Structure formats: C-alpha cells, structure tokens
Structure 1
Amino acid sequence: MSAAIRAKGHTIRIPVVIRGTPAWVHAATDVDFTASRGRVHAVVGESGCGKTTLAAAILGMLPAGTLARGRLDYVDRGGTATALTGAGRAAAARTAKLRGRRIGYVPQSAATYLTPVRRVGAQLRETIGELRGNATAEQLLARVNLDEAAMEAFPHELSGGMLQRAALAFALAGDPDVLVADEPISGLDPGLARLTLELLRSTADSGTAVVLITHDLQALASAAIADELSVMYAGRIIETGPAAQILTAPAERYTADLLAALPANGLHPMPGMPPELTNLPPDYTYADRLRTAREKEAGRAR
C-alpha cells in the first residue's frame, strides 16, 4: 500500500505564556510516522501525550506561532509530496486546499461541528457541494448506517452514536484520500464504539488511509480493526508496528503498563502521572516517571 501521510523527524513546539513568562509546549518530538492507503493506523497513549496535536498537524490546524521542523507530508497517488506544516499565508492556503478534499476529519464532539438550527441533510448537501464530492447525502448516510430520516433531523435530535456516524458522513463528503478520526469513540457505549470502529475499517478497505487517534485501548483491542499501531508518550512515538503484535507482546514498558491498566487485564493503575509537556527536558523518558513514582512511594512508606 502506498503512503498517504509521511512524517520524518517531525517536531512541534507551541508557544504559551505561563504566569507572564513565555514557554514552549513540546507537543511532538522527532516523530516518524506513516499512514498508508487501505490501512488503519491507530495512535494511542494517555491524555496529553501529543496525539491530538499530531492530528492537528496533519490537518494543518496548528495554532499561530507554532514552530515545526522535520517533515510532515501528504503524498498523493502519483507520489508527489505536499508539506503539511509551514509558516505564512502560502502554507495556510496549501493545507486549506487539502483539508476536506484530500484529508477528511472526524471530530471528537460531533455536535459542536454542526449548526444546531439547521437540518442534518441540508448541512450535508452543502458540504458535498463545497467539497465537490461525488456521493449524494443519502448515499453517505447509508454508508455510515443511518437511514434517510436523519436527513430531516436537527443535530440535537440524534443520539451520540448517530451524531458520530453523521460526522463520519461529513468527513467522507469530499471523497478524501486520508481520514483523521480524533477520539471518535469517546463517550460511546461498547456496542456503538465497535460499530464506529468497524465503519472506519470499511473506510480503509475502500482505499482510504485512516489515522485513528484514541486512548481506548480496550475497544481497539476488542474490535481488532487496526493494521498498525503507534504508541505516544510525552510527545514521542516510542513504539510502532503491527497492531496485533504490539497489543499482545509490547516491546516498551510504557505500552505494557497501558495494557495492564485495562479492565480485561486487571485494572493495574499506571505508576505516577504523565508529565507536563511545557519546557519538557529533551531527554525525558518513561523511566524518569517510574523513578519519580518509586521515590514518592518510598517517601510515603517512611
């Protein structure tokens, strides 16, 4: 399968001001990442580890003033690479042309992306027209297992699971080559989560590169829909490879601890707390977190 998204040494620094002092959020550091057509590439990790920032970078939606180095490209079917990050109006215009038409987006909170006083069908038809998509609104809704009654509904009249499926229909309106799904199963019950994941699987099977951002390892392992898996910690991808292999025989201690914390594996609590990414030391690793956790535990035992 050909690569659609390719990152090499990609590093993101986001400027912030804390109590009047300028600082940098080390949102991603030396990220190597490839998402291929026809495949689901899942990115997992605790909250605050950099997953959503990676999604925002792929979509060209990083905050103003962000510094980026290394490469992050969209590669079309002819092999031509287009940089997804950069400064200035030219870079913003470049990514805007790709967003929706070449790179679709499924948000975590679908309801906040729809106009509450307009019917779903009217909004979906407008989106198809703007993106010059080939499918009709009815066809897109059928593709995500929603009947035509959803066309006449207002967003608040749809359940959470239906809204998430509607969001997928909107993301597919421009016939994208890449689909970025950011926590699409957050807040869904297990049955609806599995249905959503299966829809993402079928989207990949149609030839789209699917990037799935999630912290729900339990649902991911249960549905078994991912081909590749990348584990992020403190802004770095610390482990990547075939999903089935990593979920059953992880190479990294952090991944093993994540899996041990799942209900199916005994709910063993993660040691310590994830680090703040602001001004994070460049040599910080999970071993530092484990050492800090051990020292705190020893202090409490005295």
Structure 2
Amino acid sequence: MPAGRYVEAVTGATFALAPGEALALVGESGCGKSVLASALLGLLPGNAETAGSARLADGLDLLAADERTLARTVRGRRVALVPQSPAAHLTPVRTIRSQLEETVRELTGTRPPALRAAAEAAAGRAAFPASHLDRHPHELSGGLAQRAATALALVGDAPLLLADEPTTGLDRDLVLRTADELRAHTRADGRALLLITHDLAAAERIADTVAVMYAGRIVETAPAGAFFGSPGPRHPYA
C-alpha cells in the first residue's frame, strides 16, 4: 500500500487470559474486535502488518508464527474459532456429518470405523442433534448452524476458544442459551474463552472479565461483576 495510506485498526490492545477464564471484548461494530481475532489466527489480509506479541502459555508467539506453524499446530489444535455468521463458514455442498468427520480425522487422527462415532460425539458436545447430521448448512436454523460451528471448534480440544460474535442473528432466547453453552464449555474443559461481541447481555452472561474497545483501543478492563454491577463502568464510552 502506498506510503501514508495505512490505517491502524487496533492499537495497544493488551489483555491476559487464564485457563477456565472467559473474557468478553465488547464494542460497537467497526471498532477493531474481529481484526484483533483475525490477527491472533494469522487470518489478516496479506498487506496487513502486526507488531507486538500474543503468546500462548507454552511461549509460542502467534504474531511471529509462520503460516506453516499456524496451519499445522495452532488453528483448531491450540486456538479454535467459532466464527461470526457460522452458516457462511460451513461448506454449503457437504453435510454437517462429513464436515465433522473431516475435522475429527484431521485434528485427532481418528480413522474408520471409529470416525462416525467420533463425529457424533463431537456433535453431542455442542448439543447438535444427531438427527440433523446428514443435513446441509442451508437446511439448518441459525441456532443449529451456530451449534455446528461450535462442534467443529471443539473437536481439537484447543485450550483457547475464540468466539467472534457467536450470537449474531439469533433471537434473544437463543442468545442466552448460546451464551450459557459457551460458558459451560469453558468451565467444564478448563479452556480460556475470548468472546468478541457487541451484545452486552451475552457478555454479562458469560464473562469473568470485560474489556471495552473503542476506535481500535481497549479503553477499560474490569471484572464483570464490577462492570455490570457496582461500581460500574469508568470510561465514558463504556
């Protein structure tokens, strides 16, 4: 890109996540939340640049890792993503069963005849009904598409789960149910959860800690109880 035309989408974002902890990164659309998640997984456009570090517990710096390392040892295995608009990220011409079986085979090495049962077990972890496994993504409701994407993300038992706007497009009951399920996965499996959302109800339901992003910067970080209760937010935007 020509000199002078770079835009800093995220600046000075600093946070830490412990095993079993859920952190909600909240802010309006366009503030940089999803850019930050994409940076952690090496999914930014080719002309994007990153600085600083993002270290996993074993010391691996995600921002310094090459594509081979990210593809073979990070994505799905150490960091898993529940994407925004899950239906758009599921392969439209393949059934949910075939996508789960492929993911299980790739991440765990499971082979037939155990593969079918392993895929069904993965679906069950995300409360995806076995009766819908042979359906295609366009045959699913928004809630079921979200559960299918969650099932795929949970296959590799990654210690860090990134959930990027997982409640977008869901009705209020499904928002709360999805929030409860994501929190349950965090507690039961001891994995860290980074929830990216502009839905404060979902954040309150899930988070131990809240980080508020405004114009590409984290302007406030607080325990969820203090943020949503007393003394409440401190920053004017928050």
Distance 1:111 1:133 in 2: 26
Displacement of 1:196 in angstroms is 0.9
SS in 1 for 2:13: strand
Give the one of 175, 198, 212 matched to 1:231.
Answer: 212
Q: Which amino acid in 1 is paired with 2:180?
A: E
Structure 1 unpaired stretches of 5+ = 1-14, 256-302
Distance 1:177 1:83 in 2: 15
Displacement of 1:113 in angstroms is 1.5
Q: Which amino acid in 1 is paired with 2:70?
A: T
Q: Does 1:115 align with 2:96?
A: no
Partner of 1:81: 59
Q: Note if contact 1:140-1:173 (Cα within 8 Å) is conserved in structure 2.
A: yes
Q: Note if contact 2:203-2:210 (Cα within 8 Å) is conserved in structure 1.
A: no
SS in 1 for 2:157: coil
Query: What are the equivalent positions in structure 2 for 1:71-220 lying under 5 Å apart?
Result: 71-75=53-57, 80-86=58-64, 91-96=66-71, 97-132=73-108, 136-205=118-187, 206-220=189-203
Distance 1:133 1:251 in 2: 49
Displacement of 1:48 in angstroms is 1.0
Q: Note if contact 2:80-2:158 (Cα within 8 Å) is conserved in structure 1.
A: yes
RMSD (Å) for aligned C-alpha atoms: 1.7
Q: Percent identity?
A: 45
SS in 1 for 2:168: coil
Distance 1:68 1:119 in 2: 37
Deviations 1:184-217 (A, max 9, x none): 0011001111111111101110211111000011
Displacement of 1:69 in angstroms is 1.9
Structure 2 unpaired stretches of 5+ = 111-116
Q: Which amino acid in 1 is paired with 2:228?
A: L
Using CA pairs below 8 Å that are at least 6 residues apart, which structure has the higher relative contact order?
Answer: 2
Q: Which amino acid in 1 is paired with 2:218?
A: I
Could you say which structure has the higher strand fraction? 1
Deviations 1:247-284 (A, max 9, x none): 231111110xxxxxxxxxxxxxxxxxxxxxxxxxxxxx
Q: Which amino acid in 2 is paired with 1:81?
A: G
Displacement of 1:236 in angstroms is 0.7
Distance 1:178 1:153 in 2: 29
State which structure, 1 or 2, has the greater radius of gyration over its C-alpha atoms.
1
Q: Note if contact 2:39-2:50 (Cα within 8 Å) is conserved in structure 1.
A: no
Query: What are the equivalent positions in structure 2 for 1:251-262 lying under 5 Å apart?
Result: 251-255=234-238
